[in-house]
Amino acid sequence: MSTATPEAPKKNRTVLDQHGQSYELTGRIGEGGQGIVCTTNYPNVLVKVSRATTEEKRNSWTSKIRALMRQPLEGLPIAHPQALITQPQPGYVMELMDGLVPMTELMQVATDALMSDEGLSGYVKTGGLLRRLKLLARLARVLAELHGRGLAYGDLSPANVFVSQSLEYAEVWLIDADNVASQSRDGQQGVFTPDYGAPEILRGESGINTLTDSWSFAVMAYRILTLVHPLKGNVVLEGEPEREEAALRGELPWVDHPVDRSNALSIGLPREITLNAPLRALFERCFNAGLNNPGERPSLNEWADAFEAATGHCDQCESCGSTFFYTSKHICPFCDHAQDTNRTILLQEYRYMPPDLLREGLPEDVPESLIRKECWTRTGKAMVLSMSPTELKTLPLGTSLYADARPLCTVELAKDGLWIEPSVGTQVSLQRASDDKVVAVVRRQRLKSDSRSGVSFWLHLGAVEEEHVVWRFNW
Amino acid sequence: MSSLKKFAVATPRPLPVIVLADTSGSMGENGKIEALNAAMKDMVSTFAKESRLRAEIQVGLITFGGKAQMHLPLVAAHGVAGFSEFQAGGVTPMGAAFDLARLLLEDKDRIPSRAYRPVLILLSDGQPTDDWEAPFKALCDSERAQKATRLAMAIGPDADEAMLKDFANDAEAPIFKAHNARDIHRFFRAVTMSVTTRTASQNPDISTAFVVPPPDDDALDLDFQ
């Protein structure tokens, strides 16, 4: 036994990149089987050091990172290698904006509060339902874009997704891009995080691809919204770890299976209040049909559309501050507070085709009444307007091109009425259903609060003689 | 403000980590007990910071020095406010410690059947001084100990390596031999890592075997100032 010497205080370690630039490692922000992610003496610059212990492993890791540096990741919020670390261990340098926390924290804070008898305070404190929907919409859109570039992310889990710490923002960054891979690569890479890996990866039948990303995304989304795992029903939670393994390999039905209730779950936030109907339908497709048939799973584009649309369907409780899905009952499902019904209005989208255009090419004998009816097509898109100004665009929220769509008008529900402000170059008019009276809106104008009587209105966004978007609401 | 509703969520599955530590008189030499105390503190505080969404890491410490005792009953790591340091002294009643460990493992109230497979760690720098063979066999043959991940560390040249080898059951990880106080720390860093990575990203292609990094390769052994 050698004599132990008291250890001298150590200095922070310094690493060198391929260009000779040095970085002092100042703290550890993440640690996994593959390496350690450290903060450095430069703001927003992180270094990941590999854990590879043999020359062979180091070389293979380095060549993987070199390959990753050639992947088209520009413009995506994915922290990816900017330079290789060469000394003393292989690694790479990446940039990550500050003010972010891992998504696991949202889940832990919300779960801890429920377990320590503080109820939903943790859920609300981490942004409640609406912010969760916004974060998931953003994450799905980023992944959809990545998939569109022919790449799969690989090891998606809430520990790899960083989100704004401040509740005012819903920024999303992915870290640990090491496993990003071209979809065409045959399934060699079976990396996963327990609870989030797709069943076919756990069974050793597949490597990562866009369909396994879709699975991991859905599990994350379900957990963040409901605080429970889609495959861990009562029999799994109460059973031995072997049963959990079987469930994660896809051998048991999912907890909300419509018919097979053998793995049903009696806890977690009720799905009726945390998921709207389109989201429930997507989860059902992913976890039921998609459980062992990856091709059945919704694409990330579908998820992004559904989550973006869902962000337009929320109301905020005047009493507890929770955000919740609008219903005609106007009751907050998180505290049962009855909301002032005048706080919100529901807008429903239609496409209007002028009768003259519609009649073109049709036989003479098509009755006028049918034409008048067919002018209107309900798109199924809706928006809940509450106390903040909202832009109405050529495309509704929940379509991939919404962000770039042209705004047509801004609507704002205020105490003194509903304000309508046309965008430059858009003809806006308001039609009252009761008498078909049409008024042109040429500047910021309002429907007064005291005129509110539940009458239907049609807000036309475009020239009356052309096909255009119409939003219907009651005032 | 109306009161927010309450909902139940799943309690995480326990992941028991049980350390059987030699605290006999010889551990007081060459800074061994100090290194062990520091390593325990580090390990427990790292466990405490781990996510509890999937598993709740629980720690139990059994010491054998003079007499065998439960130094820290099996508790959730994140709830451990602190524990008294090990004091080296007395003989090496390892057999009695094996009995304690077996009783704890078999206690379905303290380790429910839904718990993840336990991790058992045995470390010693000497020969047992009591009748240890029967308790050792009983422990190793118990159903739960067979399922457990069992790791062993031989500290210095006087340790009973043959017995420690029999205890360890990870084919990829033969017993670890510590030659100095720093090695004790390195061993527990590896133990900590192997426990925490159970819930972190995994790659079936890369063996996640228990690996203590070579001593000259401490690039990953970061202590931040």
Whether A27 and A154 share a structural domain: no
For residue A200, tell me if it sits in a domain.
Answer: yes
pLDDT tens for B64-96 read 999 999 999 999 999 998 899 999 999 999 999
N residues, chain A: 475
Q: Is there a single domain that holds both residue A181 and residue A86?
A: no
pLDDT computed for residue A145 by the predictor: 96
Residues of B in contact with A6 (CB under 8 A): 31
Nearest residue to A12 via CA among A30, A38, A37, A33 = A38
- Minimal C-alpha gap between B194 and chain A (Å): 9
A-contacting residues in B 61-100 (Cβ below 8 Å): none
- Asked if A169 and A303 sit in the same domain, the reply is yes
Contact call for residues A358 and A374 (beta carbons, < 8 A): yes
Q: Are residues A408 and A464 both part of a single domain?
A: yes
* A88 and A173 inside one domain: no
Please state, in angstroms and rounded to a whole number, the distance separating the CA atoms of residues B204 and A367.
68
B208 touches chain A (CB under 8 A): yes
Chain A residue whose CA is closest to B33: A4
Q: What's the mean pLDDT when you consider all of chain A?
A: 90
Is residue B179 situated within a structural domain?
yes
A168, A281: one domain:
yes
Distance from CA of B125 to the nearest CA of A (A): 10
CA distance A262 to B100: 39
The Cα A343–Cα A418 span in angstroms is: 11
Task: Identify which of B1, B203, B214 has the shortest CB distance to residue A190.
Answer: B203
Are A375 and A426 within one domain?
yes
From chain B, pick out residues whose CB is under 8 angstroms from the CB of A237: 10, 114
Q: Is residue A114 part of a domain?
A: yes
Q: Give the type of residue at A23.
A: Y
The answer to whether B200 contacts chain A (CB < 8 Å) is yes
Give the whole-angstrom CA distance, residue A120 versus residue A69: 43
Residue B204 domain flag: no
Contact check, Cβ <8 Å, B3/A119? yes
Q: B129: closest CA among B20, B24, B19, B18?
A: B24
To test the contact with chain A by mutation, choose from B1, B9, B149, B210 the residue with the greatest count of A C-beta atoms within 10 A, namely B9
CA B192 to chain centre: 9
Last residue of a domain, one of A95, A124, A147: A95
pLDDT in tens, A313-338: 999 999 999 999 999 999 999 999 99
Whether residues A285 and A185 fall in one domain = yes
Q: B208 lies in a domain?
A: no
* Residue B180 sits at the chain A interface (C-beta within 8 Å): yes
pLDDT at res. A107: 95
The pLDDT-based confidence of B181 (bands split at 50, 70, 90) is confident
Instruction: Kindly state whether residue B224 falls inside one of the protein's structural domains.
Output: no
Shared-domain flag, residues A34 and A109: no
Whether A317 maps to a domain, the answer reads no
Query: Which CATH number is A467's domain given?
Result: 2.60.200
What pLDDT is recorded for position B225?
45
What is the end-to-end Cα distance of chain B in Å, rounded? 46
Contacts of A232 in chain B (CB under 8 A): 10
Instruction: Please name the member of A7, A53, A241 whose beta carbon is closest to the beta carbon of B13.
Output: A241
Q: Letter for the amino acid at A475?
A: W
Give the domain CATH number at A44: 3.30.200.20
For A256-267, how does the pLDDT look when each residue is reduced to its tens digit (9 = 90+)? 999 999 999 999
Residues of chain B in contact with residue A189, where contact means CB-CB under 8 angstroms, are 203, 205
For residue A246, list chain B residues with Cβ-Cβ distance below 8 A. none
B182·A7 Cβ contact <8 A:
yes
Amino acid at A451: S
Q: Is residue A173 part of a domain?
A: yes
Cross-chain Cβ contact B202/A192 below 8 Å: yes
pLDDT band per the 50, 70, 90 thresholds, residue A179: confident
Q: Between A108, A204, A336, which is nearest B2 by CB?
A: A336
**Number of A–B residue contacts, CB under 8 Å:** 178
Total domains present in chain A:
3
- The CA distance from A307 to A128, in Å, is 15
CB contact under 8 A, B201 and A193: yes
- For residues A202 and A182, membership in a common domain is answered with yes
Its ipTM equals 0.85
Domain that holds residue A167: 100-227+268-311
Domain boundary among A67, A95, A123: A95
B220 has a pLDDT exceeding 80:
no
Backbone CA torsion sign across A460, A461, A463, A468: negative
Taking each helix axis as running N to C, give the angle between helix A277-284 and helix A210-226, from 0 to 180 degrees, rounded to the nearest 10: 130
Q: What is the pLDDT of residue B180?
A: 86
For residue B206, what pLDDT is reported?
45
Q: What is the pLDDT of residues A372-421, one digit of tens each?
A: 888 889 998 999 998 789 999 999 988 888 989 999 999 999 989 999 99
B8 touches chain A (CB under 8 A): yes
| Residue at A134: amino acid letter | K
Identify whether A5 is part of a domain: no
Residue B7 belongs to a domain = no
Q: Which helix (H) or strand (E) holds B133?
A: helix B133-141
Whether A174 and A297 map to the same domain: the answer is: yes
Residue type present at position B121: I
Assess whether A107 and A83 both reside in one domain.
no
Cβ neighbourhood burial of A70 (10 Å; 0-12, 13-18, 19+): exposed
Between the two ends of chain A, the Cα-to-Cα distance in Å is 86
Candidate from A4, A36, A88 with C-beta closest to B30: A4
Instruction: Give residue-wise pLDDT tens across range A139-154.
Output: 999 999 999 999 999 8
B211 domain residue, yes or no: no
Boundary (domain end) residue, out of A36, A69, A95: A95
Confirm whether B56 is domain-assigned.
yes
CA angle A215, A221, A225 (to 5 degrees): 150
Q: How far apart are CA A200 and CA A212, in angstroms?
A: 8
The Cα–Cα gap between A291 and B166 comes to 42
| CATH number for position B135 | 3.40.50.410
Say whether residue B209 is in contact with chain A using an 8 A CB cutoff: no
Between A111 and B82, name the one with better pLDDT: A111
In angstroms, the CA A426 to CA A403 distance is 18
How distant is the Cα of B167 from the closest Cα of chain A, in angstroms?
23
Instruction: Report yes or no on A263 lying in a domain.
Output: no
B196 touches chain A (CB under 8 A): yes
Work out how many domains chain B is built from and give that number: 1
**Does the beta-carbon distance from A25 to B222 stay under 8 Å?**
yes
Which domain covers residue B70, as residue numbers?
13-196
Query: A471 to chain B nearest CA, in Å?
Result: 34
Position A184 pLDDT exceeds 60: no
Omega of the bond leading into A88 within 30 degrees of 0 (cis): yes
- Would you tell me how many other CB atoms lie within 10 Å of the CB of residue B12? 19
Calculate what percentage of chain A has a pLDDT beyond 70. Answer: 96
pLDDT recorded at residue A10: 60
